[in-house]
Structure 1
Amino acid sequence: MEKSLPPGFRFHPTDEELVIQYLKRKVLGCPLPSSVIPDISLFRLSPWDLPGCGEKERYFFTEREGKNRAGRTGFWKAAGSDRPVQAGRSGLVVGLKRALVFYRRRAGGAAKTDWCMHEYRLLLLPSLSLSKACVERESPDWVLCRVFRKRKPSKNRCLLGRRSVQESEPSCLTEAEGEDGTGEVSSSSALS
Structure 2
Amino acid sequence: MAIAAAMNNNNNSTQEDNKQQDEHEHDVVMPGFRFHPTEEELVEFYLRRKVEGKRFNVELITFLDLYRYDPWELPALAAIGEKEWYFYVPRDRKYRNGDRPNRVTTSGYWKATGADRMIRSENLRSIGLKKTLVFYSGKAPKGIRTSWIMNEYRLPHHETERLQKKVLNYLLYLS
TM-score > 0.5, shorter chain as reference: yes
Aligned identity (percent) is 42
Report how far residue 16 of structure 1 moved. Answer: 0.3
1:65 aligns with 2:98: no
1:41 aligns with 2:65: yes
Summarize the alignment of residues 1-192 of structure 1 with structure 2, pairs less than 5 Å apart: 4-32=28-56, 34-52=58-76, 55-66=82-93, 67-88=101-122, 90-105=123-138, 109-123=142-156, 138-148=165-175
Report how far residue 121 of structure 1 moved. Answer: 0.5
Encode CA deviations 1:18-77: one digit per residue, 9 max, x unaligned: 001100011111113531000001011100011448710000000112421001000000
TM-score (norm 2): 0.70
Closer, same or farther in 2 for the Cα pair 1:71/1:18, shift >3 Å?
same
Q: What is the letter of the counterpart of residue 104 of structure 1? A: S
Report how far residue 136 of structure 1 moved. Answer: 10
**Structure 2: any 5+ residue segments left out of the alignment?**
1-26, 94-100
Q: What is the letter of the counterpart of residue 86 of structure 1? A: R
Bigger radius of gyration: 2
**Structure 1 residue ranges, 4+ long, deviating more than 3 angstroms after superposition:** 51-54, 135-138
Q: In 2, are the aligned partners of 1:44 and 1:71 still within 8 Å (CA)?
A: yes
Encode CA deviations 1:98-128: one digit per residue, 9 max, x unaligned: 00000000699210000000000012668xx
| Aligned alpha-carbon RMSD (Å) | 2.7
**Structure 1: any 5+ residue segments left out of the alignment?**
127-134, 149-192
Q: In 1, are the aligned partners of 2:89 and 2:169 still within 8 Å (CA)?
A: yes
Question: Could you say which residue in structure 1 is the equivalent of 2:15?
Answer: none
Say which structure is richer in helix: 2
TM-score (norm 1): 0.64
Q: In 1, are the aligned partners of 2:64 and 2:89 still within 8 Å (CA)?
A: yes
CA distance in 1, matches of 2:138, 2:65: 19
